[in-house]
Structure 1
């Protein structure tokens, strides 16, 4: 069940990120993040209000604030990279942030099985190979730097989300969105703009926000029921979905090394799941 939940989060994340990347080509990344996070906050706040009497208040706020800050930085950097670089290249680099929760998980006492280590290594190598074109220098440096920042930020966000979800996945998600949206709304007030988003675009931005919210929730459930190191690797296979959609929907071409990387990533996930 843990493996299925983590893999489901990667599918939802990959789909959400693909459409967020398209939206970021029409609006600045910070605008896309602000709107998607804000709309998602409305949704999760409604759910929290309905289930409030069943929720507990402990130490999750600290983890949710940390996850919200790092997640917001990661999304802005990631969407900016997606808008400037090849999706099939940027997404795999950002996914390398999985190394962060794996290291932190092991450092805090987790002991993955030998086969889990084999699967994680295969999956991480696969994701690395999927970014092969970057090694050729044919893609600009800016998307690479932004994707690298996103990788570290996402890794920290996953670890903090896991720690908060061990107490309450729902409240941790709510705290994350409250943190990021408060900062982004403050920025919008100072700049006196909401990014020129039209009413026609709101449903799509809502879907992206709910997708990211749902993926975070699925990951929180998976990691809190198992090891964050293993769940993080499976959850970070989302570039596979982004790459496939980029190929099918907008016709991005993948080099043989990228195709091999995708297959290795999937193979690694199968080893971990089994």
Structure 2
């Protein structure tokens, strides 16, 4: 069940990331993330209120701190990631960002989990893949900005996944709610300071709502999976989301990668797959 839920989260994440990246090509990434997070927060708030009316009021617990950490890192990662997707090659950006899986794997080991030797072999393969996939960008042939942003997104995503896992062990629903509450509060402050919502118009809301709900569903699937087993394994399987992003970019945008980048992407994905063994 852990594998099914984690793989389902990766498929949903990959799809929402692709369309989020598309929207970010015409709207500021911070506006896209802020609005999708706000919509998801409204949905979660309704669920929390309904449960409270049914006799299940929310209770404060350890989830609060983890939810706040997940909210800050998750939102920051999405802004960096959508910006990278909008300005770089999706087939390269997505695999690099997915290597944030190394963070929960390392933290999982540090807190007592014992991954098999396959995990360490997979890490080596994945790192080689990252270097190959980002080679042309790092060489200066094209802008290194998308690669750097993808690296920032990876670090943020990794910490968010670990925090989400720890919070979900106390309360899945409230961790998701607290995560969105934290991120929305940050974006509201930013919007007030800038006195702008980034050009979001009514016609954009349907697409943004779908992206926000998809991201929320992926978070819920991952948190459920990780709370039923080792976060290091769930994180690796969840990190396979670039497969969906790359396939959609190839079909919809007709993206083409250089040979060395194709090898790097395949290597990065193979590394993640090996770790799951």
Same fold (TM over 0.5): yes
| Residue matched to 1:51 | 51
1:1-274 superposed matches below 5 A: 1-52=1-52, 53-54=55-56, 56-115=59-118, 117-118=120-121, 122=125, 126=129, 129-264=132-267, 267=270
Question: How far apart, CA to CA, are the structure 2 residues paired with 1:129 and 1:56?
Answer: 48
Question: How far apart, CA to CA, are the structure 1 residues paired with 2:199 and 2:85?
Answer: 20
1:265 deviates by 5.3
Question: How far apart, CA to CA, are the structure 1 residues paired with 2:95 and 2:204?
Answer: 27
1:56 deviates by 4.2
1:211 deviates by 1.0
Question: How far apart, CA to CA, are the structure 1 residues paired with 2:49 and 2:131?
Answer: 42
Inter-CA distance 196–266: structure 2 relative to 1 (3 Å threshold): closer
Inter-CA distance 127–45: structure 2 relative to 1 (3 Å threshold): farther
1:108 deviates by 0.5
1:58 deviates by 1.5
What is the aligned length?
274
Q: The residue matched to 1:225 in structure 2 has which SS?
A: coil
- Point out the more displaced range, 252-261 or 198-207: 252-261
Question: How far apart, CA to CA, are the structure 2 residues paired with 1:100 and 1:247?
Answer: 29
Is the CA contact 2:169–2:227 (under 8 Å) kept in the aligned structure 1?
A: yes
In structure 1, runs of 5+ residues without a counterpart are: none
Question: How far apart, CA to CA, are the structure 1 residues paired with 2:253 and 2:221?
Answer: 28
Question: How far apart, CA to CA, are the structure 1 residues paired with 2:204 and 2:5?
Answer: 30
Inter-CA distance 222–177: structure 2 relative to 1 (3 Å threshold): same
Inter-CA distance 218–155: structure 2 relative to 1 (3 Å threshold): same
Q: The residue matched to 1:58 in structure 2 has which SS?
A: coil
1:259 deviates by 3.7
Is the CA contact 2:233–2:276 (under 8 Å) kept in the aligned structure 1?
A: no
1:256 deviates by 3.4
Question: How far apart, CA to CA, are the structure 2 residues paired with 1:238 and 1:131?
Answer: 18
Inter-CA distance 198–69: structure 2 relative to 1 (3 Å threshold): same
Q: CA RMSD of the aligned region, Å?
A: 2.1
In structure 2, runs of 5+ residues without a counterpart are: none
Cα deviation code 1:17-58 (max 9, x no counterpart): 111111111111111011111111111111122223445432
Give the structure-1-normalised TM-score. 0.91
Inter-CA distance 263–190: structure 2 relative to 1 (3 Å threshold): closer
1:239 deviates by 1.3
1:146 deviates by 1.3
Q: The residue matched to 2:5 in structure 1 has which SS?
A: helix
Inter-CA distance 143–271: structure 2 relative to 1 (3 Å threshold): closer
